[in-house]
Amino acid sequence: MFRDVTFATSCWERDWKTILLGPDYLKKKQIENHCYPFQEKLLIINNVSDLAAVKAAAQALIDAGVLTRYVVAEEAMLAPFGLSRSSFPNDWVYYNALAPLAAIASAQNPYLLYLTGDVRLDAPVSWIGKALRFMEKRPLCKVANLTWNNNYKEAKKEAQRTTWNFYVSNSGFSDQMFLVPTAEFRQPIYGEIRPDSHHYPRGDVFEKRVFSYLKNRGCLRITYRGGSYTHENI
């Protein structure tokens, strides 16, 4: 039985052409290679100079059935999380947080899979159904993701334990890819900063805030052992 999941990714000035104009980047490498029937395929438009051009490209993908809809990220989307632009020390940190938070605020399904625009799957991986079943049986498991950049040894080293399909960790979070229960992450949970979260660079970024929230509550992250995503700056 498939659970209802929203797929979401984001684009900004430096990557929107790769994501929206490439022949198969979004359609195949970001969506289809997850091998899952997403109920919604959402694009967050974040920090672009020619908004009309980006909207037109996104609408063409909606017309082609690749996307369901797009949302333009705005500061007002931060209010339900107890945040505003002044919560972030500079524009980079602000826009870094705005994209995933806009996706969380906009998703219309019980679960959200979010990928940054510079994340792709170079080969099909059927993992989402396994992750959701695992998480639903274990309420402390709040985040799931694929292994990153084929670093299976690193993922195993960070794990608290290993199961048939997953590395289970009581520490760590990445905004590059996360599968989460939407309602819980829609709460105002982003104001906690732990002293041991400072390995995240560039200030109080989104990742640091989620890491602190999860760590404070003893939540777990699961990483799929059978497939990897590729993160490569565009």
Find how far residue 225's CA is from the centre of its chain: 18
> What's the pLDDT tens digit per position in 117-147?
999 999 999 999 999 999 999 999 999 999 9
The domain that contains 72 carries what CATH number? Answer: 3.90.550.10
Task: Name the domain count of the chain.
Answer: 1
For residue 66, give its domain range: 5-231
Question: Cα–Cα distance between 229 and 203 in angstroms, integer?
Answer: 26
Nearest to 47 by CA among 83, 7, 81, 85: 85
Nearest to 16 by CA among 72, 84, 88, 74: 72
Give the pLDDT confidence score for residue 233 in this predicted structure: 84
Residue 202 has pLDDT above 90, yes or no: no
Question: Cα–Cα distance between 129 and 217 in angstroms, integer?
Answer: 25
Please name the residues in contact with 64: beta carbons below 8 A apart, sequence gap of 6 or more: none
Q: Where are the beta strands (DSSP E) in the chain?
A: 5-11, 40-45, 69-72, 111-115, 119-120, 141-148, 161-162, 166-169, 177-181, 220-231
Give the pLDDT confidence score for residue 191 in this predicted structure: 95
Chain position carrying tokens 């970024």: 205
> What's the pLDDT tens digit per position in 24-77?
999 999 999 999 999 999 999 999 999 999 999 999 999 999 999 999 999 999
Q: Taking the complete model, does pTM exceed 0.95, yes or no?
A: yes
Residue 82 has pLDDT above 80, yes or no: yes
Q: Around 136, how many Cα atoms within 13 Å sit in the side-chain half-sphere?
A: 11
